[in-house]
Every structure is written in C-alpha cells, then in structure tokens.
Amino acid sequence: MRVTTRQIAQMKRRGERIVMVTAYDALSAGAAERAGIPMVLVGDSLGQVVLGFDSTVPVSMEDMVRHSAAVARCAPSPLIVADLPFMSYQVSEEMALGNAARLLQEGAAQAVKLEGGVAIAPTVKRLTESGIAVMGHVGFTPQSVHQLGGYRVQGRTEKTAARLLEDALAIQEAGAFAVVLELLPPEVAATVTERLTVPTIGIGAGPECDGQVQVFHDLLGLLPDFRPRHAGRYGDLAGVIDEALSRYADDVRHHRFPTSAESFPASASPARTVNSRE
Ligand code: KIV
C-alpha cells in the first residue's frame, strides 16, 4: 500500500520525523523503496543532476512526466510528489491544472509540488479544490535563481523572515498538505514549522523542520564536483564508480576481461528488464 498525504499529516501530529529523498529513475526509485523512505520527490533538480543543465529552468513537462512515471513504476510504496517545472503553472490557473493533471495521470504521481508564496496561493487553491494534492515550496525557490541572484539563504532580515512566514501560511491556507522550506536560517524555519499545522520539509533549513528532503546525488556523493554545504554526507559513490570503471577499462585493454569463465554463450544471456534480473 502506498503512503498517503493523510499519513504524512499524521506524522507531524505524532511528532514523527518525515524522511524524503529525490528520485529520478529506476535506480534511485528502487533504492528509496528498499530503504523504506515514505515520500519521494521527483524533483526538477533532475535538470542538473540527470540532464546536465546548470539550473532547473530548462526542465520541461515531458522530462517531468517521463521521470515521474519511471519512479512510480519502480517505487510502489512511497508517496510520489512530482515537481511542476518552470512556467508550467505560472502562466494561468488553467495551464497549472492541465499540467498537474498530466503529472498525476501520465506521470503516476500522487501529488505535485510548486514554488512560491502569496502570489501563487490562488493557483494552489484552484488545484487543491480540483482534488489535486499540492506540496508548497518557499524560501529559496530554485526556478527563480536568476531573479534571486544566485543560490542564497533567504529570510535573513526580520522583514524577509516575516514575508516568508506569510508565504508559508498562504500556501497552507490554499490547501497544501506540506511545504518545503529551502535555504532558510534555522530559527526562521523553526518559527514557520511551529506556526504551520501542515508538515514542513526542510533542505538547508536546520533541524527543526518536521522532515528533511535531500537530493539523491548530493546525499550519496555521486557528483564529484558538486556537493552543496547543506547536503548530508552518507556516501562517496563517485569515487567508487570511478575506480570500478577505470579497473574495467584497464582490464579490457589488457585482455583481463572477460575471462573464459565470464563469457557465456548467447543462449545463456538473459534479457535485461527491471523486473527480470536473473
Ligand atoms: O527539485 C528538487 O530537488 C527540489 C528539492 C531541492 C526540494 O525541489
């Protein structure tokens, strides 16, 4: 049985910490499933960590739908939240509705996430009144990176901290079931978390949020040249992969792979699919 938004809400009421991680494909979705993580974000961070762009801005609806569907296929237990990409929801409420519906129907997600506060609250209301579960995202909003002038902590002054609280409250009032708080001073995130009845999910926002979300590649050290300061360090897999691939290349070049034991006849070579890995 898949985790529901109702169960996520109950976790805050029970004081249970909420774990979320991003996933983009069969590998990351399968890993999140095996780890028993209750909520998975098909983040538009896929623009950077999967597609090689330098921001989330170029990510398209087609990208999100395809990756969301892959994650939903390979992670049958967690609640799947898929990001609405840049300009897929800001132009009109009708456009937001149509694109959110695509993420649910074609992308098989259970909820969508969108960025923004007071200004986007009417769109959140329209979606939630249409039966779509919405997660908000305030603080540093990566789709506005060029307007915000880079990857910077938000809400550092009393005035901007108060505005952030207003933003989060407006999104909750509009019906969101949870709100991501990104790059906020820990004390600001703590105040927002205390004032909201829906769960807050932090990233670079200190330990007092109701839950935490991390980007899969950051957490596992999969990208050797990029690891943000707020990333948890639970692996250094780039080193492991680089070493394994170098050894493989070296072995092929020096006729050490395959050995006769490793080369088997075509008839014994099984078809490779996600669900059949004999
Ligand atoms: O796209 C993403 O990975 C996100 C997280 C940073 C919350 O939105």
Q: Give the Å distance between the CA of 215 and the centre of ligand 1.
A: 7
Specify whether 87 is located in the same domain as 129.
yes
Query: Among residues 72, 20, 62, which one has the least CA distance to residue 41?
Result: 20
Specify whether 12 is located in the same domain as 117.
yes
Q: What is the token pair recorded at 22?
A: 């991003």
Q: Establish if 278 belongs to a structural domain.
A: no
Q: Whose CA is nearest to atom 5 of ligand 1?
A: 43
Q: What is the pLDDT of residue 229?
A: 85
Q: Whose CA is nearest to atom 8 of ligand 1?
A: 43
Specify whether 135 is located in the same domain as 253.
no
pLDDT by residue (tens digit) across 195-240? 999 999 999 999 999 999 999 999 999 998 877 888 988 999 999 9
Specify whether 227 is located in the same domain as 261.
no
Specify whether 183 is located in the same domain as 208.
yes
**pLDDT band, residue 68 (cuts 50/70/90):** very high
For the purposes of burial, counting CB atoms within 10 Å of the CB of 77, is it exposed (0-12), middle (13-18) or buried (19 or more)? middle
Domain enclosing residue 255, as ranges = 239-272
Q: Where are the alpha helices (DSSP H) in the chain?
A: 5-14, 26-34, 46-49, 61-74, 93-105, 121-129, 145-148, 158-173, 186-195, 216-220, 237-253
DSSP letters of 58-98?
A: T--HHHHHHHHHHHHHH--SSEEEEEPPTTSSSS-HHHHHH
Specify whether 183 is located in the same domain as 256.
no
pLDDT by residue (tens digit) across 146-190? 999 989 999 999 999 999 999 999 999 999 999 999 999 999 999
Specify whether 254 is located in the same domain as 206.
no
Interval 114-119 mean pLDDT: 98
Specify whether 180 is located in the same domain as 266.
no
Q: Give the Å distance between the CA of 43 and the centre of ligand 1.
A: 5
**pLDDT band, residue 277 (cuts 50/70/90):** very low
pLDDT by residue (tens digit) across 91-103? 999 999 999 999 9
CA distance 56 to 50: 11
Q: Is the CB of 180 under 6 A from ligand 1?
A: yes
Supply the residues annotated as catalytic.
182
Specify whether 125 is located in the same domain as 141.
yes
CATH of the domain at 117: 3.20.20.60
Specify whether 192 is located in the same domain as 262.
no
Specify whether 261 is located in the same domain as 205.
no
Amino acid at 271: A
Specify whether 108 is located in the same domain as 83.
yes
Domains in the chain, number? 2
Q: What global pTM score does this model have?
A: 0.93
Nearest atom in ligand 1 to the alpha carbon of residue 22 is 3
> Considering all CA atoms of the chain, what is the largest pairwise distance in Å, rounded to the nearest integer?
70
Q: Establish if 277 belongs to a structural domain.
A: no
